[in-house]
Chain A
């Protein structure tokens, strides 16, 4: 299963590396979102610095939607979905592989966004370990839930519009937990953030388990 996961993750990341969609389109979009927040919320009144954790995670959610759509669009071309089904790879492995590829891309985007938040919004990092732990846990949760709901919407005519409405309400706990945890890590008291980090870990583990179990059935869906 893990070998299959590594294969799929390697394949997805190679596709991204060669097509450069993440680096040339999604990452600039992430920065653009930060600039737009800056324009929308008056930069002089200190709102940006206070709201930087929340804005950071909202930007991550938007980017995650793009990354998830992208992960399943590459399968829909040239009958990739059928090929995956015929490949004999363990469905659980495919799920974990796709989730891992999405997670790695999101992690890279989060680094870009974090630098952006620190430079443009003047956020101050006071708890680096908490910051990193939050990113890891939240990204795992986003990728796991995103892959599960992504395959649900994949192949449908209305997938671009359906995925956000299915996925974003489900991700509300991640947004809450990650924002609270970040608030503690950016100028707050770090010990306040760890319980929220625990919530993120629990969310990620739950969705990894559900996805591993349910992905086989969903892969068999006619699209």
Chain B
């Protein structure tokens, strides 16, 4: 992965570029369209009534959260292979944005669960594994922060990358074991989505997935660029400090030479 050339080129040092403005514009327009479809043009569900509309936010954010988790694992694997800063920054950016979407998934799921199941939290396999994903992402980000303190990319350890690499496989294993655990003694099977979802509702859901994908990409690019700039600042700071120390050393050496 190469350096994004446009980063910080603007006078304000902003992380946006022509491409991200287009992406941002598309995301916002898509979001407006999604709101229209989700709240106005799509019908209420027969059993879930209006609370079904929350699904158009909940399902896309869950998909994006798990995709972000997979992207973090890919970035960790690539960083272990190539050791280029870009993959390192991408892993962190994707985990951080993914954490936001994981939280959004849990919150919207809870709000939706209240009128539908009568409770904010049900020990449904998906809620359980999503909450474990949330904690895993928090742990991964905590470990990365420590790796970051260790210095620049060359000295940085593989700790965070190994945890990142195991992130998605762990999520899959946790998901399936939780699924198996709950499927054995679930009293009533609740179909979360109408199995015969079609027409406007299906379209709205698909639109939601596309729009959330765009929002994710938009946030990811910005977060990536901020991360990239942070790395640059760190390098610049180190170079400045080196120059200052060398200058001092030169002065001292000069004085020493004069008095000898």
Contact = CB atoms under 8 A, between A and B. Distances in A.
Interface of A: 148-149, 152-153, 156, 158, 162, 165-166, 168-170, 172-173, 176-177, 180, 199, 203, 206, 210, 214, 217-218, 221-222
A170 B146 contact: no
Given A172-B178, A173-B174, 14 more contacts: A156-B146, A162-B146, A166-B139, A169-B136, A170-B136, A170-B174, A172-B132, A172-B177, A173-B178, A176-B180, A177-B177, A210-B166, A218-B159, A222-B157
A218 B143 CA distance: 14
Contacts of B170: 169-170
Contacts of B29: none
B23 interface: no
Contact of A169 (B139, B162, B184): B139
Interface string B104-147: 00000000000000000000000000001001101110110010
Chain A interface, DSSP helix/strand/loop, else mixed: helix
A159 to B, nearest CB: 10
Contacts of B163: 149, 152, 166
B177 A162 contact: no
B173 A203 contact: yes
Nearest to A179: B181
Interface string B160-203: 00110010001001100110110010000000000000000000
A68 to B, nearest CB: 15
A166 B146 CA distance: 13
Given A165-B139, A210-B166, A221-B159, A173 B173 contact: yes
Contacts of A162: 139, 142-143, 146
